[in-house]
Amino acid sequence: MEDVLEDSKDNRTLNYVAQFLGSVARSANDHNMLKAYEALAARRDASEPTSLEAAQIIGLIQQRLTERIAI
14-63 pLDDT per residue, tens: 788 888 989 999 999 999 999 999 999 899 889 898 889 888 998 998 89
| Residue scoring higher pLDDT (47 or 2) | 47
Give the helix ranges, DSSP H, for the chain.
Answer: 2-6, 11-27, 31-45, 51-70
Helix (H, G, I), strand (E, B) or coil at 18: helix
Q: What is the pTM of this model?
A: 0.76
Structure confidence at residue 1 as a pLDDT band (50, 70, 90): low
Torsion angle of C-alpha atoms 22, 49, 15, 21, degrees rounded to 10: -20
* In contact, 53 and 43? CB cutoff 8 Å: yes
